[in-house]
Amino acid sequence: MALLAKDERDHIDKEKAKLLIKAFRPDRDGKLSKLDFVKSVDAVYKAIRLLSANISNSSQIDAAVEGIINIAFYFLLGAVLLAMLGQNPLEVFLSFSGVVLAFAFMFGSSSSKYFEGIMFILLQAPYGKLP
């Protein structure tokens, strides 16, 4: 382990040595069995895979939240534009309420499950923290 922690001037880099000891956990004599080495590499591999999964899930959640915010923004923008054109936005949106109500019954369950899933991931953090 000490050989791995040496820098280009053959001095032991203490920070690098601490990181190696933390990753591989040798015994008090500084020895590391093959089984312990494989366990340490496996633990690092699992941590990297967990980090990769968390990054992937975070990007998907960000895209979903961005879509929801975009819908709200364009709805508000439409209402402001209608008001600027002299129309009452409430009357226009109420005229489309029949169509919206039909779609609400068709897609209500799936959209509620979608929103519930986003809230579960954001609030519960089911993947935990990295070790």
pLDDT in tens, 98-122: 777 777 777 778 778 887 877 777 7
Kindly tell me the number of DSSP H helices and DSSP E strands found in the chain.
Answer: 4, 0
pTM above 0.85, yes or no: no
Q: Which two tokens mark 46? A: 């699992």
CB atoms inside a 10 Å sphere around CB 57: 13
User: pLDDT digits over 24-41, tens only?
Assistant: 777 777 777 788 888 888
Predicted confidence at residue 112, as pLDDT, reads 80
Q: How far apart are CA 101 and CA 88, in angstroms?
A: 20
Look-up: residue for tokens 């919206």?
100
User: pLDDT digits over 4-26, tens only?
Assistant: 667 778 787 788 778 877 777 77
Cβ neighbours for 57, distance < 8 A, ≥ 6 positions apart:
121, 127
